[in-house]
Amino acid sequence: MAFNQVKVEAELFQAQSHLYKHVFNFLSSMCLKSALQLNIPDIIHGHGRPITLPELLSTLQMDPAKSSYLYRLMRILVHSGFCTTSKVPKGDGEEEGYNLTPSSRLLLKGNIPSLSTFVQAMFHPAIVHSSESLGDWFISDEPTPFHTAHGMGFWDYLSQNQEFNRLFNEALISDSSMMNLVIKDCKSVFEGFDSLVDVGGGKGAASRIISESLPNLWCTVLDFPHVVENLQDSRNLKFVGGDMFHSIPTADAILLKLVLHAYSDEDCVKVLKKCREAIACKGKGGKVIIIDIVIEKKDEGDLKDAKLFFDVLMMAVVAGREREEKEWEKLFLEAGFSHYKITPILGVRSLIEVYP
State the catalytic residues: 261
Is the Cβ–Cβ distance between 261 and 314 less than 8 Å? yes
Q: List own/partner pairs for 203-206 with CB under 8 A and 24 or more apart.
A: 203/169, 203/172, 203/173, 203/227, 203/228, 203/231, 204/228, 204/231, 204/237, 204/239, 205/172, 205/173, 205/176, 205/177, 205/179, 206/176, 206/179, 206/255, 206/257
CA angle 262, 353, 177 (to 5 degrees): 60
Torsion over CA: 296, 300, 303, 307 (sign)? positive
| Amino acid at position 351, single letter | L
CB atoms within 10 A of CB 298: 7
For the chain, strand residue ranges (E) read: 51-52, 83-90, 93-100, 195-199, 218-223, 237-241, 253-257, 287-295, 323-324, 339-346, 349-355
Is the Cβ–Cβ distance between 109 and 116 less than 8 Å? yes
Taking the CA of residue 28 as centre, how many other CA atoms within 13 Å lie in the half-sphere pointing to its CB? 12
Of 219, 221, 212, 218, the closest CA to residue 239 belongs to: 221
Residue 190's alpha-carbon distances to 39, 202, 209, 221, in angstroms, are: 37, 19, 12, 15
Distance between CA atoms of 323 and 307, rounded to whole angstroms? 10
